[in-house]
């Protein structure tokens, strides 16, 4: 990993890392690859998935299932501008 190699070339014996968005993944991988030297890790985007991808809703409470349904409906009907901006950001320019 390039970041870890750079830190090693700089001869740092201890460092901390912070990451958000893609930096969360990068900093997390740095912690895995260079555990002995990374003293602390702060990330502000945590991603994850269900324990069993074949049954992603298993174990959710009634309230959690209601939120999943609300979120699905919201994403389907209320995020058009976000979708356009994420796929064709120049299309809305005047």
pTM (2 d.p.):
0.56
Query: Comparing 36-45, 53-62, 80-89, which segment has the lowest mean pLDDT?
Result: 80-89
Query: First CA to last CA across the chain, in angstroms?
Result: 42
pLDDT digits (tens, 9 = 90+) for 66-78: 999 999 999 999 9
């Amino acid at each position: 990993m390039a970041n870890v190699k750079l830190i090693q070339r700089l001869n740092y014996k201890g460092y901390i890392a912070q990451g958000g968005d893609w930096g969360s993944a990068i900093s997390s991988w740095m912690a895995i690859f260079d555990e002995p030297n990374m003293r602390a890790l702060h990330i502000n985007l945590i991603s994850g998935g269900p324990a069993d991808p074949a049954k992603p809703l298993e174990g959710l409470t009634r309230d959690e299932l209601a939120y999943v349904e609300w979120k699905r409906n919201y994403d389907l009907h209320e995020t058009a501008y976000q979708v356009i901006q994420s796929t064709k950001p120049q299309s809305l320019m005047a």
